[in-house]
Amino acid sequence: MSEYILEIQNLTKEFPGVRALDSVNLKVRKGEIHSICGENGAGKSTLMSVISGVYPKGSYEGKVFYKGKETHYTSVKDSEKEGLAIIHQELALSPYLSIYENMFLGHMKTRFGIINWDKYIVESKKYLNQVGLREKPETVVSKLGVGKQQLVEIARALSKNVELLIFDEPTSSLNDDESDKLLKLMLELKDQGITCLMISHKLKEVLKIADTVTIIRDGRSISSYDVKRDSLTEAVIIRDMVGRELANQYAKHPVALGDKVFEVNNWSVYHPDYHAMKVVDDVSFYLRKGEILAFCGPMGAGRTELMMSVFGQSYGFRSEGEVLLNGEPVDVSTPRKALNAGIGYVSEDRKSLGLILLQDIKTNISSSSLGKMSTLGVINEQEEIIAAEKYRASLRIKTPSINQLTRNLSGGNQQKVVLSRSLLADPEVFIVDEPTRGIDVGAKYEIYSILSDLVKQGKSVIMVTSEMPEALGMADRIYVMNEGKIKGMLMREEATQEEIMRIAISGQGAAGAAEQHKDKENAK
């Protein structure tokens, strides 16, 4: 019996105009945590789709062996029957069904066409206890947070007697606490003899729990490392992922800051459903010309709600306060008015709020600037093509054509399309919410370079980020938010992760933050 539960030999998968996988080789030992790392578009998700039967036998070249036998899967159901399951980055749960219904959906057994629901409620508790989820099985999934929904997905896989569990970016949408719990669960599953195959861009998490790491670049398997034996480091992984050394992961360069270009004063936002509840409470802040300003804080601090409300009141029942651009009040009552005033916004949720996935790249890039490309309501298609090709080249969007559907792009390339649309609209102030969420280090560096180039051109950037090293590496100043208020502000030279956390948890409050602003302004 082989020590490997999964072996891949010379796997090649092609799509029209693209070779997604090129002679990939991979070996995964039984009972280990094996991580696959690579840039967006490297072929990681395509590889997982081949392994799990999304792409059936005959649609690719090469061989896949699972538990010592070559696979001939024609669908995902075939792989699930053999104890192989995949947890996708985009969760595949029905929000209107209960936890236990989601867990057994598609593999419930009936007697004379009748389902014994009580049996499955009792059975579900065993798997929910195994993953550490204490919710009642009858709870509707839409009532759960993302972290708990992910546990339901894992419990569903366990209910199918899984032996190999594939995780595709498992912590990309989780906060730090939820991520830690999930990583701990993966180690527990390993102790139970379940093999875990994990795709992740978070290299600290990879090095924390993985036994083996395989790097894929441009559709090819580049290297494999035993984490402990080879004393693997982030620098080595990054080098193999991008094909070059990245001495500095951040592209921020010193820029001479100008006068205040953007101010928000006494801004409050009320909950869209509970109209008396303030989600953002009397917040004031400013942004200088040529500055990158970061907003940090725990999940639920109100950062995204603040930025969405400032950009055309895209969040909340109502907002109140004052927005100034170059010292003059501006109307931000709708997204179009905010954009026309010179404020651009890139959402943290690129798939739902940032892109029209069923449209092509060209249309997505031009959608916010059609007024500039139209005469009497008729779009100048040639100008639209020229603009899309310009950003495809300058932002290095990996695609065979600007007519490619946006949904077919990797996460990093989708993010570049969203940024291209904002760049084409040419606002004076760019608000980017979690600009590098779910993308690899190579693509992150390219995004950082874009932001750095913007401030060199005299633009100004507000960056909402949950990754404190990102804020420390890129920002000139950092506002710390919690409970809908600004708790404090730090200059670049005094900011540390510990100080950000201290202010978030026990900061001096909004009034203290305002006084801090004045003191630092006077010091200048």
CA distances from 439 to 204, 274, 496 (A): 14, 35, 24
Q: From CA 104, how far away is CA 157, in angstroms rounded? A: 9
Inter-residue contact 224 to 32 (CB < 8 Å): no
Residues 306 and 399 in one domain: yes
Beta bridge partners of 9: 63
Nearest to 218 by CA among 243, 244, 236: 243
Last residue of a domain, one of 189, 214, 242: 242
CATH number of residue 125's parent domain: 3.40.50.300
Report yes or no on 485 lying in a domain: yes
Inter-residue contact 430 to 480 (CB < 8 Å): no
Q: Residue 264: its pLDDT value, please?
A: 96
Hey, CA dihedral for 72, 77, 82, 88, is it positive or negative?
A: positive
Q: Residue 511: its pLDDT value, please?
A: 38
Report yes or no on 252 lying in a domain: no
Angle at 205 between CA 25 and CA 169, to 5 degrees: 60
Angle at 330 between CA 329 and CA 336, to 5 degrees: 175
Report yes or no on 249 lying in a domain: no
What single-letter DSSP state applies at residue 353? I
Residues 237 and 268 in one domain: no
Q: What is the pTM of this model?
A: 0.64
In our burial notation (b when 16+ CB lie closer than 10 A, e otherwise), range 418-455 reads bbbbbbbbebbbbbbbbbbbbbbbbbbbbbbebbbebb
Last residue of a domain, one of 242, 274, 306: 242
Q: From CA 385, how far away is CA 365, in angstroms rounded? A: 10
- What amino acid is encoded at 36 in this protein? I
β-pairing verdict for 429-433 and 343-346: parallel
**Domain count within the chain:** 2
Nearest to 158 by CA among 140, 132, 177: 132
Q: Terminus-to-terminus CA distance in the chain, angstroms?
A: 72
What angle, rounded to 10 degrees, do the helices at 411-425 and 381-394 form? 120
Report yes or no on 253 lying in a domain: no
What single-letter DSSP state applies at residue 432? E
The stretches of 32-172 forming alpha helices (DSSP H) are: 44-52, 76-81, 99-104, 117-131, 146-158
Q: Residue 524: its pLDDT value, please?
A: 46
The pLDDT tens digits along the chain (524 residues) read 578 999 999 999 988 777 889 999 999 999 999 999 987 778 888 899 999 999 999 999 999 999 999 999 999 889 988 999 888 877 788 888 999 999 888 777 878 888 888 888 999 998 898 888 888 999 998 888 877 888 898 888 888 888 999 988 888 767 777 788 889 999 999 999 999 999 988 888 999 999 999 999 888 999 999 999 999 998 898 888 877 655 566 766 677 888 999 999 999 999 998 888 899 999 999 999 999 999 998 777 899 999 999 999 889 899 999 999 999 999 999 999 999 999 999 887 777 777 888 889 999 999 888 888 888 888 888 988 999 999 888 888 888 889 988 888 877 788 889 888 888 888 999 999 988 876 767 778 888 888 998 899 899 999 999 888 889 999 999 999 988 999 999 998 899 888 888 898 776 543 344 444 444 444 44
Report yes or no on 251 lying in a domain: no
Last residue of a domain, one of 187, 209, 242: 242
Q: Residue 63: its pLDDT value, please?
A: 94
Inter-residue contact 447 to 362 (CB < 8 Å): no
Residues 357 and 447 in one domain: yes
Containing H/E element for 375? strand 374-375
- What amino acid is encoded at 284 in this protein? S
Domain holding 320, by residue range, is 260-523
Residues 299 and 420 in one domain: yes
* Average pLDDT, rounded, for the chain: 86
Residues 207 and 313 in one domain: no
Q: Residue 248: its pLDDT value, please?
A: 62
What single-letter DSSP state applies at residue 142? G
Q: What is the DSSP string of 184-238?
A: HHHHHHHHTT-EEEEE-S-HHHHHHH-SEEEEEETTEEEEEEETTTTT--HHHHH
Q: What is the DSSP string of 468-510?
A: HHHHHHH-SEEEEEETTEEEEEEEGGG--HHHHHHHHHH--HH
Residues 188 and 266 in one domain: no
Residues 274 and 388 in one domain: yes
The burial class, CB within 10 Å (0-12 / 13-18 / 19+), for 240 is buried
β-pairing verdict for 292-296 and 477-482: parallel
- What amino acid is encoded at 484 in this protein? G
Containing H/E element for 173? none
Nearest to 258 by CA among 160, 174, 326: 326
Q: From CA 95, how far away is CA 91, in angstroms rounded? A: 10
Residues 194 and 332 in one domain: no
User: φ, ψ for residue 373 (rounded to 5)?
Assistant: -105, 10
Q: From CA 251, how far away is CA 450, in angstroms rounded? A: 9
Q: Residue 508: its pLDDT value, please?
A: 57
Q: From CA 284, how far away is CA 429, in angstroms rounded? A: 16
Residues 278 and 147 in one domain: no
The burial class, CB within 10 Å (0-12 / 13-18 / 19+), for 501 is middle
CA 101 vs. chain centroid, Å, equals 28
Report yes or no on 64 lying in a domain: yes
Report yes or no on 248 lying in a domain: no
Taking only the tens place, the pLDDT of each residue in 332-385 is 999 999 999 999 998 877 777 778 888 899 999 998 888 888 888 888 889 889
Report yes or no on 189 lying in a domain: yes
Residues 141 and 232 in one domain: yes
Residues 192 and 267 in one domain: no
Inter-residue contact 524 to 515 (CB < 8 Å): no
Inter-residue contact 102 to 124 (CB < 8 Å): no
Longest CA–CA separation in the chain, Å: 81
Per the rule left: phi > 0, alpha: psi between -120 and 50, beta: everything else, 367 is: alpha
What single-letter DSSP state applies at residue 71? -
Residues 266 and 185 in one domain: no
